[in-house]
Chains A and B, each alone.
Chain A
Amino acid sequence: MKIVDDNPSVLTALDRPNSYIGRAVPRPNLKRLTQGRGQYVSDVTLPRMAHVAFLRSPHAHARIVKIDAGAAKKAPGVVAVVTGAELAKVITPWVGVLTHLKGIKSAPQHAIAVDRACWAGEAVCAVVARSRAEAEDACELIAIDYQPLPAVTDPETATDATTPVIHPALGDNLCFERSLDVGEVDKAFAASDAVIETTFVFGRHTGVTNEPRAIVADWNEGEQRLTVYQGTQAPHMMQDLFAKHLGLAHQQVRVLTKDVGGSFGIKVHTYADEMATVALSKLLRRPVKFVADRIESFVTDIHARDHRVKARIGVNKDGAITAWEIDDLTGIGPYSVYPRTSGIEANQVVNLTGGPYTCMNYRARARVVFQNKNVMCQYRAVGHPIAVAVTEGLVELAAAKIGMDPLEIRRRNLIADDAYPCGSASGLKFEQLSHHESLAHLDAMMNYAGLRAEQAKLRQRGIHRGIGFASFIEVTNPSAAFYGVGGARISSQDGATVKLDAQGNISVHSGVTEQGQGTEAVLAQVTASAFGVPIERVRVVTGDTDNTPYGGGTWASRGAGIGGEAAWQAGKALRGNVLAVAGSMLQTTPQDLDIRNGVVVDRASGTERLPLDELARVAYFRPDTLPPGFQAELMATRHYVPRAWPFAFTNGIQASYLEVDTDTGFVTLLKHWCVEDCGTVINPQLVDEQVRGGVVQGIGAALFEQCLYDERGQMLNGNMADYLVPMAAEMPDIEVGHVVSPTADSELGAKGAGEAGTAGAPACVMNAINDALRPLGASPLTDMPFTPDKILKALGKI
């Protein structure tokens, strides 16, 4: 609840001497990346490795009548040409459903389509060859007879009686539906001074990770063992799935993840072409590599955020929000993605709308429908960008309606900072948030009054600037409530093993993974602090199912909060073990000793007693000198799972300051602010950079990014020139501030921060644009991305 002091006076369990907690330590793994000596999966080569290219359906929906691969099989360099039916003998299909999403249904999906292609881009045949180029050459020689089928491409009509059902066995095109009705919504609306109703539309997005999806699968027939190099966020999850669908034991599967060129949730899912690659390796008994090229990435990487939300807010003249209502329709692909399901995003929209506020009258309906477009699933901030944009958009529309300042209406409705623990209308449980403290901090940081004055002055000169805000809550550190309870074999616990080596240095092996957010740094900082060595003496091992404890990987911003806590506990435990050895060597009570700066010292005086390398030498090479009956244990493993709270909610508030050129409809972003409360901050620079990166992804949502589809289910802009990702020249500088409300569910008290930027940025950019245009009589813009076309239209210029 307090803004953190530089030198806190109270000693807590975190206040270890020479602690790295709270320090902006540079990441230890960066040197190899700046030298170009990273090891991305796309860099991996193995002996006898072959490359796979997939022939993909040009039709959104078609029966595969015949595949003639004769010429392709004889093409230069070709090792094999394999159809879906052939591969189905090696790998079983999967269904993306979970039991806690009541009623969710989906059809079995194969690694390569069998009988029917259900989206344009779905793989229908695989060519394995000496080189990717030769595989592509051979793909061109394959002749496929397709019988095109009607494509379902409009979510609004997907469940109409006249719309063809994509999977007849399911009965209709409804994947999942959820409803919620809390409080007395109708009564509240009827009694409100004003009710504002609008429809929000969100463009379909894709992650555009800089390194495309890549996988190298190596089935060793002699060892009967599968080794997979994959840029996955969740190696143990993938180990389980490869084993399950290939009929192997976990012990036969090793998943390795080294450097990953960006993920953001894209690489946490199960992809048919990656499963196919693994199956092909087993079938062909040699390593097979698949690297998605950019064009196929656009039509196969999961899409996200394709939602249309009808929404209503009730408000009284005194600013009190009286009721919320939303009706969310989202059109996914033809399959719910496995194993996390494509129902989660809509589920989150229902859970999170209205979250920061006190109003408890809330009705929501969400429907998830199948379409013949690329599949959709969790992508950074899952559902939050939608829920926050809907909520914060309604709040500022309400403020405008009653003539109240947008920060003031928030002051009157945000949950009080001393109201905790409490819950939301949708049943979320909040331990401790800081909406008001964060708002006050933001107000000061951005000099809000100054900006309003500047805005007013410039308007008189025909220059239209806007200021928009977004308060938000964010889901982090998930317990089993997220996936486990639904039957998914996705671990919400995590583990860390810390070992002392024969030179007295330590390594920490962790089940969470690194994709650039700084997981390795955080683990090193935490372990170094808990154990008592300089950070240079800590080696971090992640991304190896053979060599790390069983864990969940990195997603839902759990790396620092959950993985970090396990490392903290393991570091403390190893310190205890090492001090037991030291105590026996020094004939002293271990409690009177400590480890600081790599040396065993007197806890009280700090006098150095025994360097760690000497302790290690004795323990490993001269155990004969230790007292009889004493056994040195120089490894410790601890696990951690949040138990008190289903999620560690964080909160924050963002603001956007921008200028709209009312002649051209172009938006210039002038500045952006974010105040984030993510509990204990282990590395402030890393947290701030996660916020910045997330904000820019959110700006992409607000202004630039959209997967455009025509009515035939063809993606129209699937390349880097036409799908607009944010580039440097258009982005603002972003100022980040912090409030700290640690969670009591762990000793570190760290929550997650990886997705906050993305959760709030689209909302506040939208609000800023509308703030700029409102005095000009433009109708509010609620259809993202806000292109010049839409702005010109709102202004009546076209």
Chain B
Amino acid sequence: MKPAPFAYARARSVEEAVALLAEKPDAKVLAGGQSLIATLNMRLSAPALLVDINGIDGRDGIVHKGGMVEIGALARHVQAERSEVIASFAPLLASAMPHIGHPAIRNRGTIGGSIAFADPAAELPACLLALGGEIEAQGPEGKRTIKADDFFRGLFETALGAQDVLTAVRVPAAAQDTRTGFAELTRRHGDYAIIGLAASAKADGMGLKDVRLAYFGVGATPVRARQAEAALSGEASEKRIDAAIAALELDPPDDVQATGAAKKHLAGVLLRGVVRQLMEPAR
């Protein structure tokens, strides 16, 4: 499986990347390449031009500022996995990182790439949705910020245009009352999830508020379970969890790993476990 021929260019700045993307209608950004190069090898995709952004300086930082954790698009998964900033201020991402592929994948894959590629069974897009994060992109019209809720549009389809470059993602920094939970089910460690759940909330007395539940592996995009979120607001109890499970509006399609019926059932199982995590006080 050898890729079809393509042209290749290295961008030294985001502006240059944007300009290069305009050169060919089917030009593609090459960041970590862990998804893209596999699709090229299988000839599922045959872009005329790859614009390599790995050489752009200063886009791989992970910083805590202004109440947000900002992660440069070119930060590798392994950097995020080892980051003290993420461990302290974005614990949901810290939970998710060890599930992403395997060490060799995490050494090269990028946070920005994972968000931009938006595999429906991937962890980070769901985490972003669960945290109510935002995406910073730059294109021919300049820079803009897109809320996570508006970003994931369809199967491998995001709010990014053909000439946009995702430059950073931001999530609200965890505070004392932040609660997060993460769980995924895979047949084998490191596989794409059969189904997963990323969740965040705020402690509210003996219960929760501002609950955000983002399922992945259930459709074309990560999906907020809004009815279940509403059912979880308030004082915690098994009854409330039962109600939330009953309120799950997911209708996952069948795929080669599991039927939609199984996924629907598993969504409830995951929710029970994740709510228990949400109820644990932050350290």
Contacts and interface: CB of A to CB of B under 8 A. Distances in A.
B45 to A, nearest CB: 14
- CB-based closest 5 A-B pairs: A133-B2, A729-B189, A798-B261, A293-B1, A789-B262
Interface stretch (A31-39, A62-70, A196-204, A658-666): A658-666
A11 interface: no
A664 B189 contact: no
Interface in A720-760: 721-722, 724, 726-727, 729-730
Given A295-B42, A719-B42, A730-B187, 11 more contacts: A131-B2, A136-B43, A295-B1, A708-B256, A721-B192, A724-B188, A726-B188, A727-B189, A788-B258, A789-B262, A792-B262
A721 B39 CA distance: 13
Interface in A463-478: none
Contact of B185 (A131, A666, A726): A666
B270 to A, nearest CB: 9
Nearest to A76: B5
Contact of A730 (B5, B43, B188): B188
Contacts of A136: 1-2, 4, 43
Contacts, number: 66
A797 interface: yes
B258 A132 contact: no
B265 A792 contact: yes
Contacts of A789: 258-259, 261-262
A729 B98 CA distance: 13
Interface string A114-154: 00000000000000000111001100100000000000000
B269 interface: yes
A16 interface: no
Nearest to B269: A663
Contact of B265 (A717, A722, A797): A797
Contact of B262 (A293, A665, A704, A730): A665
A54 to B, nearest CB: 13
Interface string B33-60: 0000000001100000000000000000
Interface of B: 1-5, 42-43, 185, 187-192, 194, 256-259, 261-262, 264-266, 269
Contacts of A722: 256-257
Contacts of B1: 136, 293-295
A147 B69 CA distance: 58
Contact of A704 (B185, B187, B261): B187
A71 interface: no
From DSSP, what is the main secondary structure of chain B's interface residues?
loop
Contacts of B256: 708, 716-717, 722
Contacts of B265: 792, 797-798
Contact of A798 (B42, B190, B257, B262): B262
Nearest to B258: A789
Nearest to A791: B262
A789 to B, nearest CB: 5
A787 interface: yes
Contact of A137 (B5, B194, B261): B5
Given A721-B192, A798-B262, A132 B2 contact: yes
A410 B262 CA distance: 36
A365 to B, nearest CB: 33
B188 A727 contact: yes
Contacts of B5: 133, 137
B119 to A, nearest CB: 11
A721 B43 CA distance: 16
B259 A724 contact: no
26 contacts: A132-B2, A133-B3, A136-B1, A136-B2, A136-B4, A137-B5, A140-B4, A293-B1, A295-B42, A663-B269, A704-B188, A708-B256, A719-B42, A721-B192, A722-B257, A724-B187, A726-B188, A727-B188, A727-B189, A730-B189, A787-B258, A788-B185, A788-B258, A792-B262, A797-B265, A798-B262
